[in-house]
């Protein structure tokens, strides 16, 4: 599924929260528009989206399907996980 999210102006103090247990993130005043491609998979992988913004920046993922214990880091307040790609695209 693909769709375009237009550029926007946001209210001061607005927060983003992408998934139920994810940390809230402060929103910036103005964001770029971007194309958003959602890749749906049967097990609900939340790291399979791609973005292309109005500034020409493309963001893609390999879904991080294999993570080794030595690569794991502590997560604070649920982390930002899924939202990091969208934040990069809109800013």
pLDDT of 42-71, one tens digit each?
Answer: 665 666 788 999 999 999 876 656 666 666
Q: What secondary structure letter does DSSP report for 60?
A: -
Between 29 and 38, residue with greater pLDDT: 29
Residue 49: the pLDDT is 81
Let me know: does 60 contact 50? Beta carbons within 8 Å: yes
Structural domain span for residue 71: 2-90
Mean pLDDT across the chain, nearest whole number? 82
Residue 35: the pLDDT is 95
Domain total in the chain: 1
Bridge pairing between strands 58-59 and 15-16? unpaired
Q: What average pLDDT does range 11-36 have in this prediction?
A: 91
Between 64 and 15, residue with greater pLDDT: 15
Other Cβ atoms within 10 Å of 86 Cβ, number: 20
Which residue, chain included where needed, has tokens 């926007």?
Answer: 8
């Amino acid at each position: 599924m693909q769709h375009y999210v237009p550029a926007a102006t946001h209210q001061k103090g607005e927060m983003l929260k992408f998934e139920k247990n994810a940390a809230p993130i402060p929103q910036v005043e103005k964001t770029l528009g971007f194309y958003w491609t959602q890749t749906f998979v049967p097990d609900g992988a939340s790291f399979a989206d791609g973005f292309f913004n109005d500034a020409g920046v493309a963001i893609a993922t390999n879904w991080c399907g294999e993570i080794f214990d030595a690569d794991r880091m502590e997560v604070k307040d649920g982390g930002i996980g899924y939202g990091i790609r969208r934040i990069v695209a809109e800013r």
